């Protein structure tokens, strides 16, 4: 029998795994990052195709990450101490600012090399976030699941 807490923690883990897979796929799309700073300098005949692919993959990653933050916020609503919830939601806002900056690079500069640099940075941020915020959240969710249900 699974509890609400286990379901929530399972969902968080699956999302994190998927987000990291998406990052790996994005990075795998560009083989020129060590040689050029901007897509304009890329002479690969497939440039437009790879830009299109990276664009779609990054937008999907941004959407998945924003949705994941929203779901965690819902899990937090009545099951964690206010201090954790406030700090955690604040950290999610900082992540969403970082994602928005990547979106600006896509829309305004069309420089996917730089956008992937942004993906490297957000990966670092996410890995620290998993450790500093999501692991404590998981502990609260597991504790909440052990408490007797009222009603």
**116 near 125, Cβ under 8 Å?**
no
Q: Shortest distance, CB of residue 25 to Fe ion, whole angstroms? A: 19
Decide if residue 29 touches Fe ion (CB under 5 A): no
**78 near 50, Cβ under 8 Å?**
no
With tokens 């933050």, the residue in question is 69
Decide if residue 138 touches Fe ion (CB under 5 A): no
CA pair distance 38, 113, nearest whole angstrom: 6
Q: Which is nearer to Fe ion, 11 or 33 (CB)?
A: 11
Binding region for Fe ion (CB under 5 A) out of 23-31, 53-61, 78-86, 128-136: 128-136
Collapsing DSSP to helix, strand or coil, 45 comes out as coil
The site for Fe ion, by CB under 5 A, has a size of 3
- Phi, psi of 30, deg, nearest 5: -115, 120
CA pair distance 115, 90, nearest whole angstrom: 24
Q: Shortest distance, CB of residue 126 to Fe ion, whole angstroms? A: 8
The binder of Fe ion chosen from 105, 134, 140, 141 (CB under 5 A): 134
Beta-sheet strands, E only, within the chain: none
Q: Which is nearer to Fe ion, 105 or 141 (CB)?
A: 141
Alpha-helix runs per DSSP H in 77-130: 82-104, 112-129
**Using CB under 5 A as the criterion, what x/- string covers residues 51-90 for binding Fe ion?**
---------------------x------------------
Q: Which is nearer to Fe ion, 29 or 134 (CB)?
A: 134
Which residues of this chain interact with Fe ion, rule CB under 5 A? 72, 133-134
């Amino acid at each position: 029998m699974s509890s609400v807490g286990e379901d929530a923690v399972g969902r968080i883990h699956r999302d994190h795994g998927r987000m990291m897979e998406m990052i790996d796929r994005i990075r795998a799309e560009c083989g020129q990052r060590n040689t050029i700073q901007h897509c304009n300098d890329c002479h690969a005949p497939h440039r437009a195709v790879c830009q299109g692919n990276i664009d779609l993959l990054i937008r999907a990653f941004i959407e998945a990450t924003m949705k994941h933050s929203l779901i965690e916020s819902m899990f937090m609503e009545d099951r964690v101490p206010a201090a954790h919830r406030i700090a955690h939601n604040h950290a999610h806002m900082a992540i969403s600012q970082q994602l928005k900056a990547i979106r600006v690079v896509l829309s305004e500069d069309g420089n996917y090399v730089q956008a992937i640099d942004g993906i490297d940075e957000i990966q670092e941020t996410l890995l620290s976030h998993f450790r500093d915020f999501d692991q404590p959240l998981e502990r609260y969710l597991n504790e909440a699941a052990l408490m007797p249900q009222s009603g």
